[in-house]
Amino acid sequence: MTICSDTPFISTTIYFAGKTTLADSLVASNGIISSRLAGKLRYLDSREDEQIRGITMKSSAISLHYASGEKDYLINLIDSPGHVDFSSEVSTAVRLCDGAIVIVDAVEGVCPQTQAVLRQAWLENIRPVLVINKIDRLIMELKLTSQEAYTHLQKILEQVNAVTGSLFTSKVLEDRAVKEERAEEDKEEGDIEPAECPGSEQVYDWSAGLEDSDDSQLYFSPDQGNVVFASAIDGWGFSIQQFAQIHSQRMGIRAEVLLKTLWGDFYLNAKAKKIMKGAHVRPMLTFYHSNEC
């Protein structure tokens, strides 16, 4: 399909566990390479030393076409290195992009480099999408049951959100420190605050400002649409939005309701035909069983 010059384009970068395989899958979706070669060809690792060593050392870019409904998009994809020694490539790529895809190994979980790239995305004011890759390893290698796999994935989300939370806390405390510094400068210039006037009682604010800050949209949670579960080597991935659409038709429940309850402490009461809270105490009745991060 020919993409017109006025087609909306989005720049995004991907990095970390299995990112080159995922990039191969995205390239294969445009028919540039065969889907059977995805993960083996390492299409964006164009340098000879990258092919020999099996790691990405230089960022590579490619333009891909994506259609959503009646709209066409041109996505400029940058495959940046995941190794910590090439973090400068990541910081350069993230400055050029509108979004980022952070890929985490479903078995290994959060690594130091994951924390580094999350921080770089935070500093550039980019909201990333989390892809938990290699879901197949939980089944083929670890032999986890569905409940054990869910608990494992939940811990990964908690680890990633802990990194995001620490970045948010640092930002709030930094803003408060700047505000206090400006207040001290105003005081030195002769501006006296009402609380410090003669005869008034001195007031000290011990709060950090975290209570008044809205961080509800910062964290990764499947029900917010910023978490994808995938197996790049097998060429598949999904979000709970897709499952909400599937089960909405099968169960006769609105997709909006399922989207809010597919991830959380909810269970399906088949007799009452209702979705209810308290799945952790009613495990035998659960259609899907999970806990909020």
- Tens of pLDDT, residue by residue over 137-166, are 999 999 999 889 988 999 999 999 999 989
The pLDDT of residue 8 is 54
Task: Pick out the chain residues at pLDDT < 70.
Answer: 1-17, 190-214, 216, 279-293
Q: How far is CA 272 from the centre of its chain?
A: 36
Digit-coded pLDDT (tens) for 216-237: 678 999 988 899 999 988 888 9
Residue 195 and residue 202 in contact, taking contact as beta carbons nearer than 8 Å: yes
Q: Report pLDDT for 288.
A: 45
Rounded Cα distance, 38 and 281, in Å: 43
Q: For residues 163 and 154, what is the distance between their CA atoms, to the nearest angstrom?
A: 15
- What secondary structure does DSSP assign to 30-50, as a single string? TTSS-GGGTTTS-TT--SHHH
> Could you give phi then psi for residue 248, rounded to 5 degrees?
-65, -40
Long-range contact list for 59-65, CB < 8 A, 24+ apart? 59/13, 59/89, 59/90, 59/92, 59/93, 62/23, 62/27, 63/9, 64/26, 64/27, 64/29, 64/30, 65/1, 65/3, 65/30
Strand, helix or coil at 11?
Answer: strand
Tokens standing for 3? 């993409």
Indicate the burial class of 67 (C-beta count within 10 angstroms; 0-12, 13-18, 19 or more). Answer: exposed
Per-residue pLDDT, 212: 64
Over the range 172-204, which residues count as b (16 or more CB within 10 Å of their CB) and which as e?
Answer: beeeeeeeeeeeeeeeeeeeeeeeeeeeeeeee
Q: What is the pLDDT of residue 144?
A: 93
CA 96 from centroid of its chain's CA atoms? 18
Q: How confident is the model at residue 35, as a pLDDT?
A: 84
For residue 6, the model assigns a pLDDT of 44
> What pLDDT is stored for residue 107 in this prediction?
92
Cα–Cα distance between 141 and 273 in angstroms, integer? 37
- Tokens coding 74: 């041109």
Predicted pLDDT at 152? 93
The number of helix segments (H) and strand segments (E) in the chain equals: 8, 9
